[in-house]
Structure 1
Amino acid sequence: MPVFSDVRGLAVTAADPAVVGHVDASIAAFLGFRKDTGERLKPALALDPECVFANVLRGYYMLLMANRTLVPRAAKCLAAAEKAAAGATAREQGHVAALRAWVAGDFAGAVRRWEALLPENPRDAIALRLANYGHFYAGDAAGMRDSFARCLHAWDESVPGYGFMLGAYAFAQEEAGDYAAAERDGRRAVEMQPADIWATHAVAHVLEMQGRADEGVAWITGLEGNFGECHNFTYHLWWHRALFHWDRGRYDAALDLYDREVRPESTDDALDIANATSLLWRLEQVGMDVGDRWQELAARAAERIGDHMLVFSDAHFAMALAAAGPEGSDRRFAESCRAFAGAGETQSAVMAACGADLVDGVLAYRRGDFGRAVDHLSAARPALRGIGGSHAQRDVFEQMLAVAALKAERLPLARALWSERSRRKPWCGWTWGNLADSLSATGDPIAAAGARARAVAIAV
């Protein structure tokens, strides 16, 4: 089988150079979070059904949906790639091995294989971005950052896709706590490519972590016209805009954005559901009436009871089922989570380490059993980072524990948790109000008055 060079100089085995052109187009769309990512790959497979890398790429796209019903389809892509792999390059065979591991539930093994490819192939954009994805859902911020750092020597503005790599590196730096570098690189990536929604998102994360809510709203609003060709990740960016309003106490605005931007349609996408459930939960925690919005989410979550592709997603499914799930669905889901903890997959270990406790804590909280919620959420907390997601996404579970401790009258713990939050997020009036309540309940009226004054000052 002939070998051709792709747009970044990597060898691709294919029947015709046009096949490689279509693969390049699909990868470009993937890096840009575009709706047509899959469509751009179809001509490659139509021209060359045995193209190893095109089949692997299609399998990757299936698994990135984080929906177990798509695993059999990914397995068919793997079978097609394996059938033709004998004549493939070493890099392509490495990708086949990574897909094989991922299909089998060995997501950590897939990440190791992508990382093993990168020293000799630092311009392999797919290996680099998928390794990033794997580190992200392992809660390994340093791994995300360092994976990019080891490869960026081979990238500059002359290499197609460099802006997307810089934007992704910016997000990794943000999660690792280097906010200045993250903002610098994220803004530079957006200058290079204004439609880079991931780089836009990276800067939004910096602004969130630094309490710069008004800047965050302006940043996203000023760029939103660039994302018309992007897929449903736009809903996540709008979630960030709603979160900025939430941070400033503009809860009505956040709820309005829920309907118009965060959940404008019912989908079964795991990230869409996570956006929606975490925003509704936050709004209810501050006393907002969210009406019947939970019903639609609970119906979607009920379809995913046995899914368990990502514990991060499972925790958000639990929130919807606890709020409005069909009778007995919360119990069935908890049982399914505990059973999955012994399934031998990468995510099974995460479920055993903290996921089952996290789900039980969410369900107990919603039932009003706040003491039990504190017990389970406290047990999950030391390993919580392992579910992946960002600091901003996981924070809803930190909020949940602190609220539960106060409601359960675990007062010294509540005071400690709200004190911790007030130092980490001093711009949040809701945090200072809850700290005031916990200080008052533990007999410190002077400190409580000071915290209450901070809450009032922020709200002005």
Structure 2
Amino acid sequence: MKEERGKMEGGVKLDKWGYEVRTSSEACISSINAFYDQFLGYGRDRCVILEAAAHDKDCVLANILAAHLLNFSDPSRAPSFLEAAKANLEQATRYEKLVFDAVSYLGSKDRDDDVAVELHLKVLKEFPRDLASLKRAQVLCFYMGQPDLFLSLIRQVLPENEGDNYVYGMLSFALLEVGQMRDAEKAAKRGLEINKEDVWAQHALCHVFQYECKFKEAVQFMEGCASSWNSCLSFMLTHNWWHVALCYLEGNAPTQRVLELYDHHIWKELERADAAGEVYLNAVGLLLRLHVHGELDVLGDRLEILAGCLSDQANWNIEWHLDVMTVWALAKTGKFSKAEDLLNELKYRISRMGTKKQQSMQKGMQLAEALYAYGRGNDRQGLELLDSDFDACNYKIIGASDEQLEVFNQVWYTMLLNAGETMKAIEVIEKQIKKREGVPFMWRLLEKAYRLANRPEAGKANEKARALESAYF
């Protein structure tokens, strides 16, 4: 196939990937291509796909992509676009029909995620350059807690996309989520060589730096990229700043610097009319980290204000990960009945899932209940709700990366210490430090555990913590 964008072929045009789309409208195909870039680049202007449907009301691809977008932003409008796509499906190209099958299934009430992935795999087997379908597959695998599945998929299509920056950002994220940090770094840097403003590749590289405790390097890199985030979706903009704030926190920078980032780059974003509810994920995630680090006194009224917003049920059921942390924020600020309402809502949601999904989401429910106990100061109950060999990395099913999940490990360590399970705390903290030796906070936790156990190693842990605390910022 000659890959010439927008070439006319008797009512068929070629999209950005070089695949056939049934339309006679130049403006329609141009808007579809613009949507691809917005979708893959986490841009704010994804609604450009609605323009594609307006330019050609009969275009199946434009309509099904518009319906998918509206399912999240304005669900009442989605059905009309879905019906328009269905009405013209017989005249659609093979490519459009496969995309329609994959995307329309995502809105099914009884959706099986394995089937959803298989439908996207079917698209990519025939049309491997469709990186929008690849990105949807990545999101599916992320919420299934299966980065290895996506890594396998992306490796299948990589040979057809070696000149595209977007594929390397996705590859890097999959690699780091399965612990292949060296390869993840190489992939992210390759993507940035092609396009230094690729937000997802930037994000992936920061993950690598952060994991390796290169906090100063991570901050310098990300702050140098920040000007390219202004056109990003609210979630992506604030998520990248969340990473910066976390690097400052883990690198023992002054807490005030972390709070400034919260105020000016996370909380302030919620003032925008187009801010997404997912922004709360970054807000509460950062405040939970600060709390675990013993910084609750410096938060002022930030947690109380945030919990007030999270009391609004309009901010529930956006992300399971967000709901888990919302339960903690509500409990911590004394809004127990609201926290219990949310827990009951989560139980109801699970009851409506298929048997397979119900079983996998039980871990998410246990974590939410443990965070409720932790918020109420009932550490013993929190521990009883979690496995004795708890590892937050086994809870990817809530839709969180390893870096996002790490705070739940820290909550667990704290509950162990507070509940008098000192020897167990020493065991698991030592194990974690072997993975990441450069986090001052972890050495402080270990020092506390040693002192509670009257262990002489407390002095050495103190020395290590002091050395690291002065090493970064």
**TM-superposed deviation, 1:97:** 2.6
Alignment partners' CA distance in 2, 1:196 and 1:15? 32
Q: Please, which of 427, 430, 435 is the counterpart of residue 438 of structure 2?
A: 427
Alignment partners' CA distance in 1, 2:351 and 2:385? 19
Alignment partners' CA distance in 1, 2:380 and 2:98? 49
Q: Which residue of 2 aligns with 1:238?
A: 241
**TM-superposed deviation, 1:147:** 1.6
1:180 pairs with 2:182: yes
Q: Which residue of 2 aligns with 1:324?
A: 333
Q: Please, which of 277, 280, 285 is the counterpart of residue 284 of structure 2?
A: 277
State the one-letter code of the partner of 1:196.
Answer: D
Alignment partners' CA distance in 2, 1:50 and 1:412? 67
Deviating more after overlay: 229-238 vs 239-248: 229-238
Residues 35-86 of structure 1: CA distance to partner in whole angstroms, max 9, x if unpaired?
2221x22321111123211122123323466xxxx44444443333223222
1:317–1:88 Cα change, 3 Å: farther
Q: Which residue of 2 aligns with 1:313?
A: 322
Partner of 2:121, secondary structure, is: helix
Contact 1:59–1:74 under 8 Å retained in 2: yes
Contact 2:325–2:371 under 8 Å retained in 1: no
Q: Which residue of 2 aligns with 1:210?
A: 212
Q: Please, which of 99, 104, 110 is the counterpart of residue 108 of structure 2?
A: 104
Q: Please, which of 348, 355, 378 is the counterpart of residue 339 of structure 1?
A: 348
Deviating more after overlay: 336-345 vs 114-123: 336-345
Q: Trace 1:353-364 onto structure 2 (pairs within 5 A).
A: 353-364=362-373
State the one-letter code of the partner of 1:231.
Answer: L
Contact 2:13–2:24 under 8 Å retained in 1: no
**TM-superposed deviation, 1:309:** 5.0
1:34 pairs with 2:43: yes
Give aligned-pair identity as a percent.
25
State the one-letter code of the partner of 2:54.
Answer: A
Q: Trace 1:293-308 onto structure 2 (pairs within 5 A).
A: 293-304=302-313, 307-308=316-317
Partner of 1:409, secondary structure, is: coil
Q: Please, which of 59, 63, 70 is the counterpart of residue 55 of structure 1?
A: 63
RMSD: 2.4
Q: Could you state the TM-score of these two structures normalised by the residue count of structure 2? A: 0.88
Alignment partners' CA distance in 2, 1:286 and 1:437? 13
**TM-superposed deviation, 1:107:** 5.8
Q: Which of structure 1's runs of 4+ aligned residues deviate more than 6 A?
A: none
Residues 246-305 of structure 1: CA distance to partner in whole angstroms, max 9, x if unpaired?
111122211221111122233663431111111101112222221111233223323347
State the one-letter code of the partner of 1:440.
Answer: R
**TM-superposed deviation, 1:15:** 4.1
1:133–1:63 Cα change, 3 Å: farther
Q: Please, which of 439, 450, 453 is the counterpart of residue 460 of structure 2?
A: 450
Contact 1:74–1:103 under 8 Å retained in 2: no
Alignment partners' CA distance in 2, 1:144 and 1:399? 28
State the one-letter code of the partner of 2:123.
Answer: L
Q: Which residue of 2 aligns with 1:78?
A: 82
1:6–1:213 Cα change, 3 Å: same
1:326–1:50 Cα change, 3 Å: farther
Q: Which residue of 2 aligns with 1:127?
A: 133
**TM-superposed deviation, 1:439:** 2.3
Partner of 1:4, secondary structure, is: strand
Alignment partners' CA distance in 2, 1:376 and 1:63? 35
Alignment partners' CA distance in 2, 1:179 and 1:64? 33
Deviating more after overlay: 241-250 vs 408-417: 408-417
Partner of 1:341, secondary structure, is: helix
1:421–1:305 Cα change, 3 Å: farther
1:319–1:60 Cα change, 3 Å: farther
**TM-superposed deviation, 1:307:** 4.5
Contact 2:168–2:187 under 8 Å retained in 1: yes
Alignment partners' CA distance in 1, 2:175 and 2:49? 31
**TM-superposed deviation, 1:192:** 1.9
Deviating more after overlay: 28-37 vs 395-404: 28-37
Deviating more after overlay: 240-249 vs 256-265: 256-265
Alignment partners' CA distance in 2, 1:26 and 1:282? 35
Alignment partners' CA distance in 2, 1:126 and 1:223? 24
Structure 2 unaligned residues grouped into runs of 5+: 1-9
Alignment partners' CA distance in 2, 1:258 and 1:346? 40
